[in-house]
Structure 1
Amino acid sequence: MSLNVLIIGAVAAGPKAGCRIKRLEPDANVTMLDRDNYISYGGCGIPYYVSGDVADLKGLLSTSFHMVRDPQFFKGAKGVDVQTGVEALAIDRAAKKVRVKDLASGHENDLAYDKLVLATGARPFTPPIAGANLQGVWPVGDLHHAQAIKHAVAQGGVGAAAIIGAGATGLEMAEALADLWGVEVHIIERQDQFLLGVLDPDIARMLQTHMAAQDGVSLHLGADVGGILADDEGKARAVVVDGQEIAVDMVIMATGVRPNDELARAAGLELAQRGGIKVNERMQTSDPDIYAAGDCVSVKNILSGKDAYVPAGSLANRMGRVVGTNVCGGQATFPGVLGSFCIKLFGLSAARTGLNEVEARAMGLDVVAPLVVQADRAHFHPDMAMMYVKLVVEKNSRRLLGLSALGDNGDAVVGRVNAMAGLLAKGGELADLSNLELAYSPPLGAAMDILNTAANVAENMIEGRLRSIAIDEFAKRLASDDSCVIVDVRAIDNAGPYLEQLAPKWRHLPQETIAGREGEVPQDRDVLLICNSGARSYEAMRQLAGAGVTNTYNVGGGVAAVKKWGEPILAPKDEN
C-alpha cells in the first residue's frame, strides 16, 4: 500500500519535503494544502520586489528556469497534488485525519494521512498600537501585502512612510522605498539598537551610522510609538513618536513574526516555552507520525543548547529535506542553528554567526571579543575595501563562539562569516581559526586573511600581550576626562589634524621612532595608543612593554573603526 502523506503549508519547508518524498518514494501519495493561492514563493525577496530589483511578482514565484511554481507545476513536474485556498481546521491524531475547509465554497471534509507534515509558517506580529488597523497601514507578511505596498507607492501617493520596527525586513523595506522611489522614510524602533539580538552592538552601530547618512532616511531609536492617526477618510496620516506627530502617507508594520503553532497546540503537540512546535533532530513532533519544519518550529541553538526560534527561508528548506528523508524511513538529522544572518543596506553589508559578545556574556561566559579592521583583499589591489570583524572566543577553553562582520564588499563579508559557521558547527577552537586555510589571490583575498588575524589578536589578548579598549570607552575617555592621553603612532600627515585640535591630550609618537623615545610616554596616567586600524598601535604597545612601559591600551580597530562607528573625533571638515 502506498504511503499517504499530507502536508499543511506550501511556501518553503512544505514543498521541499513533498518533492523530496516523491523523489525517494515515487509511489507515495503526497497532498499539500495551503489557505493562500500564492505558494512556493521567495518571501525574503519581498523588499526587492517593492524596490524594483525584482521587476515582476512572478520572479518570486518562479524556478531558476522560469517556470511558475503553481499547482499545475507541482502536479506535472513533481507528482505532488496541491490544493490552494484550503485551510486545515483540526488534527485528529487518533484517527489520523485532518479536518479541512475550502475557503471559497465553505465545504468541509476530512483528509487521511499516514504521515503528516506541518509547515504552517509564521504570521506578522502586530503590537497593540492604536490605529494599527487603519487604511494605509501594512504588515509585510505575504505577496498580497507586497503587491499592495508597491501599488500604493507606484501610484505616486506616498511621499513619506513610517516603518515601525528595525529588524531585517523593516530595514530592507526602508531601503526599497527610499532608494528607488525617493520616499522619505522614518524608521522607528523602541530599542536603542536596530537588529537587536541579531548583530553585535558595535557592528550594528556602524550600520546605523551608515543608514542615518542616507538621503531621506531618519532613524528614531529608543522611541515610543504613541499611535497612528487617521485623516477624515480613515487613512493613516501621521505617527505619534515620543509625543510628536510625524506626517506620513503609509505605515509599514515590521515588528517581527510569530509561529503559526495554533493547529499543533490544539492537537496536543508539545510546544517550546516561547512558542513554536517542538521537534527532535529528525524533525518529529511529540507525535512520531507528525513532522514539522520551517517558521512554525522551535529548534536547538547549537552553541547554547537552548530552544531557538529562527525563521528563515534557508533553514526551512534544509529542514524540509530532512523531513522528506525521514518520512520515507530515513535517519537524517537537523543539528540545530547558529543564527547565521546577513543583510545589505545601501551598499554596506553586515553578517553574523554564532554568539555575539553581549549574548556570550549574558550566558556567563568569560570571553575576549576583539574588533579587527583589515583590507578584505590584498591591500594593494584597487578593489580592496576595509572589513570590520568582531570575533568572540571563550578565554579558558579557547572555544570559538561567534563572528560579526561588516564591509562594502558583501561577498567578502558573507564568505568570512560562512567559513566561521563551518568551524562553529564542528566545535572549532582558536587554533583552528588561526590556521584556517583560505583561498588566496590578490583580487579575492589577503595573504594573511582577516580571520587569521582576528584569531591571532584574540590569542594575544588571552595571553596578556594585548590590552584593548573598546570604541565606546575610547569615545567617553576622549571627551570627558584627563586620566589618559592618546598617543597617535601614525605618520604626521595622518596625525596632524588631530594634534591641531586635541593637543596636548592627543600626542604624536610614530611607531617606527619609538625605540629610544620610550621616556616621552607618560607614566602617570593611561596611554591610549591609536593608529588607522590597530596594527601599528599594537606594535607600539609591544615595543613599549619591552622597555617596561605597561600603562598602555590599544584602541581596537583604530581611527577607521571609530569613524565607522559614528563617533566624530574631529569636526567633519577636519577629518582626514
Structure 2
Amino acid sequence: MSKYVIIGGDAAGMSAATQIRRLQPDAEIVVFEKGEILSYAQCGLPYYIAGLVPTAEDLIARTKEQFEEKYKITIHLKHEVTFIDPVSNHVTALALDNQEEVVTNYDYLLIATGGEAIVPPWKGTDLDGVTVLKTIPDANRILKWLDERKEIQKVVIIGGGYIGLEMAEAFHIRGKEVQIIDIADQLNASFDPEMAEHAKTELEKQGIKVSLQEEVKEIKGEGRVQSVVTDKGEYSADLVVISIGIRPNSEIAKQAGIELGPRNAIRVNSRMQTNIENIYAAGDCATHYHLVKQQDDYIPLGTTANKQGRIAGTNLGGRNAEFKGIVGTAVMKVLDLEMARTGLNEKEAKALNIDYETVTIKSRHHATYYPNAERLFIKLIFKKDDRTLLGGQVVGYAGVDKRIDVLAMAITFGMKIDELQDLDLSYAPPFNGVWDPVQQASRVAEKVK
C-alpha cells in the first residue's frame, strides 16, 4: 500500500488527506504542518476580531485529535519541511520545538504550503503593535493588544484589498479610529475604478479615513509603534496591520526542481500534478487555471483551495478527477455595502488584447414598490465581436451575492450577454423584479452593437 506525505495542514492539505483516506482505507498518510492549528477558516479572522465570531475554536473545522481518530492520519504539528528530495522520494522536516530533524520517505507527495502575507522591507515592521493577519495566532495577538492596552485608539491599515477592508470594518465595529493607506489610486484593484469608488464612499461616510496614492516609507516608534510615514505625510498609530496581499509558499518546491508559474506559484495540471509525476500541489501555493483567460493564474481563495485539495486527493487515491478552472469570483462586505466580481475586469481584458464593450446600470435588488428596495449597481463586460460575457461586477446594499453567482455560472459556460435575458430566474416582489437586474443590464447591452 502506498505512503502519502502532505506538506501543509490547512484547507487543501486536509481536504486531500481525508479524500485519500476515503479511497485508500489502508494507506499510510502523514501530514507535516508548520503551525499549531489545522484546517481553520482564515476568511473568518476579521469577523473573529470584530467580535462577530465568539471564539477562535468556532473557526476550526477539526482538531488534530479528530483527524487522527476518525481518519487515522499521522499529523506532526510545529514541523517545518525544509527539504524535498524528488530522487530518493523523501522529505526532511524540522521539529520547531526541539530543532530535531525528521526524515520521511513517500510514494506520493502533496505540497499544500499555502501562501504567506507580504511584508515589505520597511523600517519598523518589527515594532510591537505591527502585524499581519493570516493565522489564528495573528488574530489572537491583535485581540490581546486590544484587551490589554485600552490606549489603542488609532489603527492604521496598510492595504485596501479584501482583508484590509474587512479589517477596517472589524476595528470600526470595536470603536477604533481607522485610517487606510494604499499606494494604488483606488481600493480593491480587482474591481474597476468606478465600482471601487463605492467602497471609498461607504468607508468615508461611516468615518473611516482613506488615503490613496501614498507610498509607505517607514513605520516609526520607540519599541512600540507610534506612526506610519508615507511620501505625503505621517499618520499617528497605536496599531498597524499590514495587508498588501499574499504570495505562494513555493520556495521549497523551487529548490526541488518543481516548475513555477504566475507569481511563483507551483505550476500544476488539471489533476494537480506538478512536472514531477508523483508530486502534486494544491491551494494557495499552486496555480489556478482561469477559464476566461485560458491560462494559468494565481487567485488564492478558500473555495479554490478546498476544491483543489479534494481533486488532488481523488487522483492520489487512485481515481480520476480534473480541476475545471476558475473565473475569479469573489464577494465581500464593506460595512453596509456588498461588493462582488467575477470574470475579467477592464484592466485584465485590455492586458489580453480583447476588443470589448461594457454596460453599467443602476437598479434595485427587488421590486421597487416592495419596502426597502436597495440600490444595486451592475457592470458587465463582453466581447465586441461575438458578445461573449467576459466579466461582471455588482455593488449594492442587498442582493449582490445572488447576482454575482448568476454571472459566474454564465461566464463559466460561455454564455453571450444577450442570453442572460433567456434565464428563468426567480421572482417575487420581496426578492426580485420581473426583470432581474442582471437581465436589465443585458437588455441595455442590446443597444451596444
Alignment of 1:300-339 (within 5 A): 300-339=289-328
1:437 equivalenced with 2:424 (yes/no) = yes
| SS, match of residue 297 in structure 1 | coil
TM-superposed deviation, 1:436 = 1.5
TM-superposed deviation, 1:154 = 2.4
Counterpart selection for 2:187 from 181, 185, 194: 194
TM-superposed deviation, 1:243 = 4.0
1:173 equivalenced with 2:167 (yes/no) = yes
| SS, match of residue 447 in structure 2 | helix
The one-letter code of the counterpart of 1:219 is V
TM-superposed deviation, 1:294 = 0.5
Q: Distance in 2 between matches of 1:19 and 1:146?
A: 27
In structure 1, the partner of 2:199 is 207
Alignment of 1:50-449 (within 5 A): 50-61=49-60, 63=61, 69-155=62-148, 156-179=150-173, 181-196=174-189, 198-215=190-207, 217-231=208-222, 234-409=223-398, 412-449=399-436
Q: Which has the larger radius of gyration?
A: 1
TM-superposition CA deviations, 1:378-414 (whole Å, max 9, x none): 12111421211001111111110010001111xx211
TM-superposition CA deviations, 1:330-385 (whole Å, max 9, x none): 22111222111111011110000001123213322222211111111112111421
Asked if structure 2 preserves the Cα contact closer than 8 Å seen for 1:71 and 1:81, the reply is no
In structure 2, the partner of 1:552 is none
| SS, match of residue 460 in structure 1 | coil
| SS, match of residue 32 in structure 1 | strand
TM-superposed deviation, 1:249 = 0.5
What is the TM-score of this pair, normalised by structure 2?
0.97
In structure 2, the partner of 1:572 is none
Structure 2 regions of 5+ residues with no counterpart?
Answer: none
The one-letter code of the counterpart of 1:230 is G
| SS, match of residue 452 in structure 1 | helix
TM-superposed deviation, 1:273 = 4.5
| SS, match of residue 274 in structure 2 | coil
In structure 2, the partner of 1:475 is none
TM-superposed deviation, 1:127 = 1.3
Q: Distance in 2 between matches of 1:362 and 1:287?
A: 31
The one-letter code of the counterpart of 1:460 is K
Asked if structure 2 preserves the Cα contact closer than 8 Å seen for 1:127 and 1:255, the reply is no
TM-superposition CA deviations, 1:101-134 (whole Å, max 9, x none): 2111222131111111100001111112221221
Which range moves more in the overlay, 391-400 or 429-438?
429-438
Q: Distance in 2 between matches of 1:218 and 1:73?
A: 44
| SS, match of residue 333 in structure 1 | coil
In structure 1, the partner of 2:438 is 451
Q: Distance in 2 between matches of 1:334 and 1:105?
A: 39
Change over 3 Å in CA distance of 1:358–1:89 after alignment to 2: closer
TM-superposed deviation, 1:78 = 2.3
In structure 2, the partner of 1:43 is 42
Asked if structure 1 preserves the Cα contact closer than 8 Å seen for 2:291 and 2:326, the reply is yes
Identity within the alignment, %: 35
Asked if structure 2 preserves the Cα contact closer than 8 Å seen for 1:383 and 1:443, the reply is no
| SS, match of residue 185 in structure 2 | coil
Asked if structure 2 preserves the Cα contact closer than 8 Å seen for 1:338 and 1:421, the reply is yes
Q: Distance in 2 between matches of 1:458 and 1:385?
A: 23
TM-superposed deviation, 1:4 = 1.1
Which range moves more in the overlay, 345-354 or 305-314?
305-314
| SS, match of residue 22 in structure 1 | helix
Q: Distance in 2 between matches of 1:133 and 1:85?
A: 22
Q: Distance in 2 between matches of 1:24 and 1:431?
A: 44
Change over 3 Å in CA distance of 1:273–1:393 after alignment to 2: closer
Asked if structure 2 preserves the Cα contact closer than 8 Å seen for 1:340 and 1:354, the reply is yes
Asked if structure 2 preserves the Cα contact closer than 8 Å seen for 1:90 and 1:263, the reply is yes
TM-superposed deviation, 1:153 = 1.5
TM-superposed deviation, 1:432 = 2.2
TM-superposed deviation, 1:421 = 0.8
Q: Distance in 1 between matches of 2:350 and 2:94?
A: 49
CA RMSD of aligned residues (A): 1.2
Which range moves more in the overlay, 198-207 or 357-366?
357-366
TM-superposed deviation, 1:246 = 1.4
Q: Distance in 1 between matches of 2:293 and 2:261?
A: 15
Asked if structure 1 preserves the Cα contact closer than 8 Å seen for 2:262 and 2:297, the reply is no
Asked if structure 2 preserves the Cα contact closer than 8 Å seen for 1:416 and 1:451, the reply is yes
1:17 equivalenced with 2:26 (yes/no) = no
The one-letter code of the counterpart of 1:218 is K
What is the TM-score of this pair, normalised by structure 1?
0.76
Structure 1 regions of 5+ residues with no counterpart?
Answer: 64-68, 463-576
Q: Distance in 2 between matches of 1:240 and 1:279?
A: 41
Asked if structure 1 preserves the Cα contact closer than 8 Å seen for 2:272 and 2:281, the reply is yes
Q: Distance in 2 between matches of 1:325 and 1:247?
A: 51
TM-superposed deviation, 1:424 = 0.9
| SS, match of residue 446 in structure 2 | helix
The one-letter code of the counterpart of 2:128 is Q
The higher relative CO (CA closer than 8 Å, separation ≥ 6) is in 2
TM-superposed deviation, 1:218 = 0.5
Give the count of matched residue pairs: 448
In structure 2, the partner of 1:545 is none
| SS, match of residue 31 in structure 1 | strand
TM-superposed deviation, 1:47 = 0.5
Q: Distance in 2 between matches of 1:357 and 1:239?
A: 33
Asked if structure 2 preserves the Cα contact closer than 8 Å seen for 1:378 and 1:445, the reply is yes
Alignment of 1:487-498 (within 5 A): none
TM-superposition CA deviations, 1:59-85 (whole Å, max 9, x none): 111x4xxxxx22110011222221101
Q: Distance in 2 between matches of 1:376 and 1:28?
A: 51
Q: Distance in 2 between matches of 1:92 and 1:240?
A: 45
Q: Distance in 2 between matches of 1:429 and 1:453?
A: 14
Q: Distance in 1 between matches of 2:375 and 2:227?
A: 40
Asked if structure 2 preserves the Cα contact closer than 8 Å seen for 1:226 and 1:243, the reply is no
Q: Distance in 1 between matches of 2:252 and 2:46?
A: 29
| SS, match of residue 116 in structure 2 | strand
